[in-house]
Amino acid sequence: DGGITQSPKYLFRKEGQNVTLSCEQNLNHDAMYWYRQDPGQGLRLIYYSQIVNDFQKGDIAEGYSVSREKKESFPLTVTSAQKNPTAFYLCASSTRLAGGLTDTQYFGPGTRLTVL
């Protein structure tokens, strides 16, 4: 089955620790995205990548880092510099379009991060 997997489903972190969220897709999509969602709120873009070895900051990149070494994988690291990291994190992927447009994004099940 083609899809996007995120792990872990729940993650607990102590203050001051870095933590990495996994996102893997087998849809053969070039583009991948990370979003943050706070309770009762909408989606905010953290980072996105249109192609391997290239990525761009979204609206709230501070305190986060990413890598895109493989087409299938786009891990997100929440660093200790992120002041309020407790949130729901969603990863998505899509085919790559030209001209600034975005194709349908397909989402993983998400990771709920709680800072203790």
Partner 1 sequence: AQKVTQAQTEISVVEKEDVTLDCVYETRDTTYYLFWYKQPPSGELVFLIRRNSFDEQNEISGRYSWNFQKSTSSFNFTITASQVVDSAVYFCALSEAGSNYQLIWGAGTKLIIKP
Which positions touch partner 1 (CB under 8 A)? 31, 37, 41-43, 45, 48, 50, 56, 58, 88, 90, 92, 97, 99-110, 112
Give me the residue label for tokens 């709920």.
Answer: 112
Is the Cβ of residue 50 or residue 77 nearer to partner 1 in the bound state? 50
Is the Cβ of residue 101 or residue 116 nearer to partner 1 in the bound state? 101
Q: In the bound complex, what is the minimum distance in angstroms from residue 59's beta carbon to partner 1?
A: 9
Beta bridge partners of 42: none
Phi/psi at 37 (5° precision): -130, 120
Q: In the bound complex, what is the minimum distance in angstroms from residue 16's beta carbon to partner 1?
A: 27
Cis peptide before 8 (omega within 30 of 0): yes
Is the Cβ of residue 16 or residue 100 nearer to partner 1 in the bound state? 100
Q: In the bound complex, what is the minimum distance in angstroms from residue 84's beta carbon to partner 1?
A: 19
